[in-house]
């Protein structure tokens, strides 16, 4: 007995306690949830009652179940859930399968260390149940859901410096992969000749990772446009990156996605735009640009020589397009931009049906990461950050959550965020809503940049539940964990659970490394089976 105790203690010392709760085992993979970043292929971010028992009547009973200390201060994964497992991306530890009850580690895939930067999706392949996700630099990975074994890894050969910062969408044996570019960061180097690469969208075979097609968002080749430091050549056009999840319209066979700004002049008519491609061939069907002449790169933030002469406002589409029916049963494509503009488009033609603007907008939104919709209630939920960063900040910010009519964009309610100096002093940060949000039966859950996680009543906007995540947590894996800004992909609702990562140092937000699991404290009501 003493020998066992000694070995256990020695193992704990060697591991630093970080892997003290390993429970090597194969997850149950009968059902996976959600299908990807947007909960469904239309990116509605709405969790139906058969998938979550959390609603407006019981959300106040959510309590912290356990916390896990991540190895990164900028977590950027969206979890995948089965009946007994959470799949997460844990920074330098790679992708992990955590036991749903205890948080102990079933397996980990360290080939993927350092960059699991997307939602994790699943599909059946010839290998069996397979997980797919994007590694920021290495490309798309397929790993076995049972064992964590790497099945294949695929990167795009069409661009020299691809950055896989968007979440892939998996459907019908195809993986649609958003492509951004590392040139956004290289532009900060004064000796770098900015910029030549284009954003794009790729389609891969889910069985092999083989590239089926690739479509750049800029078709013309970059050319020399000038010089700086006597010798360094400037190039353009470039940019129009894609860093958000695409949306699939199975009925029309179309794939929709949004683009960001041009990195260098000349500007193109494909930046800050919504694209529609033929999902089977990649053929371009329509493009609708919302902000023209938007040339911007990170040199504009650091005062570098690569900042374009006519610096643009950097008004990307970071929020994936959302496909939903209005009250008349008409399909509309809802898009939200960093400018704060929300528009409804005809998915067949891209023509604008209505458009509204909320908030001040800026480099970091405006609308940053994502919308949600409740078709039954006819509501589109729009989180607005209005973080003070951007070219023109003269207008008053209006951060908070808006509920709009899916029919015409009229405001049904607005839950304003208190961004007074006193509130910011108490919270320690700007409380804007930057992260993606999630909606369920009568409830909308959103996390703010100050780390507050809130559940709103879907019909009134009243706050039904609030939890401050910017604090220290005792964790199941022994690693010290602290919450921070809730940003990027935001919360997930599943069964009687709410999952969220807190902390995001990615773009100067409040860093943190907490993965938090909340659960309804009492037995859930009769709605929903919860079986998964």
Partner 1 sequence: MPQGRELGDMNAAVWRRVTAAAVDFVTVPSVAAVIMVITGALENAEAWTGGFPWLRVFLLGVVGYLMVNGVLLWRHGQTLGKRLAKIKIVDHESEQVPALWKLIVLRAPFFPLMHVTLIGFWYLLVLDLLIGLRGDRRCIHDWVSGTKVVAADDEN
Least separation in angstroms between CB 235 and partner 1: 8
305 touches partner 1 (CB under 8 A): no
Six-digit token string for 220: 């013309």
β-pairing verdict for 121-125 and 105-109: unpaired
Residue 190 CB, nearest approach to partner 1 (Å): 9
The stretch among 228-236, 254-262, 422-430, 446-454 that binds partner 1 (CB under 8 A) is 228-236
Minimum distance from residue 164 beta carbon to partner 1 (Å): 14
Instruction: Render 251-269 in DSSP notation, one character per residue.
Output: TTTEEEEE---EEESSP-T
Question: Counting contacts by CB under 8 A, is residue 531 touching partner 1?
Answer: no
Query: Closest separation between CB of residue 160 and partner 1, Å?
Result: 4
Instruction: Pull the structure tokens for residue 188.
Output: 């900060």
Q: Which is nearer to partner 1, 16 or 160 (CB)?
A: 160
Min dist CB 479 to partner 1, Å, is 21
Quick check: 160 binds partner 1 (CB under 8 A)?
A: yes
- What SS3 class is residue 402? strand
Sketch the per residue contact string, 178 through 197, with partner 1: x for CB under 8 A, - otherwise: ----xx--x--x-xxx-xxx
Q: Which is nearer to partner 1, 2 or 231 (CB)?
A: 231
Q: Within 197-226, which residues bind partner 1 (CB under 8 A)? A: 197
Strand boundaries in 159-305, DSSP class E = 162-163, 169-171, 174-181, 200-205, 211-216, 223-228, 232-236, 238-239, 247-249, 254-258, 262-264, 273-278, 284-289
SS3 state of residue 515: strand
In angstroms, how far is CA 353 from the centroid of its own chain?
A: 26
N-terminal to C-terminal alpha carbon distance within the chain: 40
- The piece of 75-83, 100-108, 227-235, 413-421 that touches partner 1 (CB under 8 A) is 227-235
The Cα–Cα gap between 485 and 512 comes to: 7
Question: Applying CB under 8 A, does 13 fall inside the site for partner 1?
Answer: no
Nearer to partner 1, 138 or 330 (CB): 138
Q: Measured from the CB atom, is 220 or 281 closer to partner 1?
A: 220
422: three-class secondary structure by DSSP? helix
User: Any contact of residue 240 with partner 1 (CB under 8 A)?
Assistant: no
Closer by beta carbon to partner 1, 35 or else 187: 187
Between CA 457 and CA 475 the distance in angstroms is: 30
Q: Which of 3, 231, 425, 522 binds partner 1 (CB under 8 A)?
A: 231
Buried b (16+ CB within 10 A) or exposed e, 232-258: bebbbbbbbbbbbbbbbbeebebbbbb
CA–CA separation, 150 and 142 (whole Å): 6
Based on CB atoms, which residue is closest to partner 1, 26 or 232?
Answer: 232
- 229 vs 425 by CB, closer to partner 1: 229
DSSP-assigned letter for residue 435: S
CB of 193 vs partner 1, minimal distance in Å: 4
Q: How far is the CB of 234 from partner 1 (least distance, A)?
A: 10
3-state DSSP assignment of residue 137 = coil
> Other CB atoms closer than 10 Å to residue 150's CB: what's the count?
16
Instruction: Using only the alpha carbons of the chain, give its radius of gyration.
Output: 22
For 304, what's the count of Cα atoms within 13 Å in the CB-facing half-sphere?
A: 20
Q: Which is nearer to partner 1, 14 or 230 (CB)?
A: 230
Cβ proximity to partner 1: between 127 and 192 the closer is: 192
Between CA 447 and CA 424 the distance in angstroms is 15
Q: Residue 273, interface with partner 1 (CB under 8 A)?
A: no
Nearer to partner 1 among residue 43 and residue 198 (C-beta): 198
Binding-site size, partner 1 (CB under 8 A) = 18
Nearer to partner 1 among residue 117 and residue 476 (C-beta): 117
Minimum CB distance to partner 1, residue 259 (Å)? 19
If one asks whether residue 230 binds partner 1 (CB under 8 A), the answer comes out as: yes
- In angstroms, the Cα distances linking 333 to 228, 254, 291, 374, 528 are 43, 12, 18, 14, 29
d(CA 488, CA 436): 6
Farthest CA pair distance, the chain: 75
Q: Smallest distance, Å, CB 189 to partner 1?
A: 8
> By CB under 8 A, is residue 137 in contact with partner 1?
yes
Q: Which parts of this chain interact with partner 1 (CB under 8 A)?
A: 137, 160-161, 182-183, 186, 189, 191-193, 195-197, 229-233
């Amino acid at each position: 007995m003493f020998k066992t105790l000694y070995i256990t203690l020695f193992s704990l010392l060697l591991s630093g306690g970080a892997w003290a709760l390993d429970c090597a085992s194969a997850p149950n993979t009968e059902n996976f949830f959600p299908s990807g970043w947007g909960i469904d292929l239309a990116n509605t971010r709405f969790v139906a009652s058969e998938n979550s028992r959390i609603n407006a009547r019981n959300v106040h009973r959510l309590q912290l179940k356990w916390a896990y200390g991540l190895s990164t201060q900028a977590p950027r994964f969206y979890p995948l859930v089965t009946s007994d497992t959470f799949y997460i991306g844990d920074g330098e530890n790679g992708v992990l399968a955590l036991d749903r009850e205890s948080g102990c580690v079933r397996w980990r895939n360290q080939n993927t260390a350092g960059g699991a930067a997307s939602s994790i999706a699943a599909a059946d392949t010839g290998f069996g149940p397979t997980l797919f996700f994007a590694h920021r630099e290495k490309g798309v990975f397929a790993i076995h859901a049972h064992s964590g074994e790497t099945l294949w890894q695929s990167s795009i050969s069409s661009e020299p410096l691809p950055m896989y910062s968007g979440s892939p969408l998996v459907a019908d044996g195809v993986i649609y992969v958003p492509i951004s570019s590392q040139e956004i960061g290289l532009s900060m180097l004064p000796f770098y000749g900015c910029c030549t690469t284009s954003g794009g969208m790729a389609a891969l075979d889910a069985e092999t990772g083989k590239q089926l097609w690739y479509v750049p968002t800029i078709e013309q080749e970059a050319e020399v446009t000038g010089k700086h430091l006597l010798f360094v050549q400037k190039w353009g056009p470039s940019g129009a990156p894609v860093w958000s999840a695409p949306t699939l319209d199975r009925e029309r066979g179309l794939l929709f996605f949004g683009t960001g700004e041009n990195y260098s002049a000349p500007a193109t008519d494909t930046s800050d735009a919504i694209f529609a491609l033929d999902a089977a061939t990649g053929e371009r069907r329509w493009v609708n640009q919302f902000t023209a002449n938007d040339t911007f790169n990170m040199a504009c933030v650091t005062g570098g020589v690569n900042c374009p002469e006519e610096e643009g406002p950097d008004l990307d589409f970071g929020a994936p397009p959302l496909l939903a029916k209005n009250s008349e049963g008409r399909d509309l494509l809802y898009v939200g931009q960093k400018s704060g503009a929300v528009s409804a488009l005809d998915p067949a033609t891209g023509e604008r049906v209505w458009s509204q603007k909320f908030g001040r907008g800026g480099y970091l939104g405006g609308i940053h990461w994502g919308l949600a919709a409740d078709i039954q209630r006819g509501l589109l939920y729009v989180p607005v950050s209005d973080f003070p960063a951007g070219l023109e900040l003269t207008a008053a910010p209006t951060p908070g959550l808006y509920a709009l009519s899916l029919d015409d964009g009229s405001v049904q309610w607005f839950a304003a965020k208190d961004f007074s100096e006193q509130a910011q002093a108490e919270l320690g940060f700007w409380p804007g809503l930057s992260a993606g949000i999630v909606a369920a039966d009568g409830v909308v859950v959103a996390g703010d940049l100050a780390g507050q996680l809130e559940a709103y009543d879907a019909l009134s906007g009243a706050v039904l539940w609030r939890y401050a995540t910017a604090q220290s947590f005792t964790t199941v894996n022994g690693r010290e964990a602290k919450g921070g800004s809730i940003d990027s992909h935001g919360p997930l609702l599943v069964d009687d659970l709410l999952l969220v990562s807190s902390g995001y140092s990615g773009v100067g937000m409040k860093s943190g490394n907490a993965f938090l699991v909340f659960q309804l404290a009492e037995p859930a009501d009769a709605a929903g089976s919860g079986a998964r």
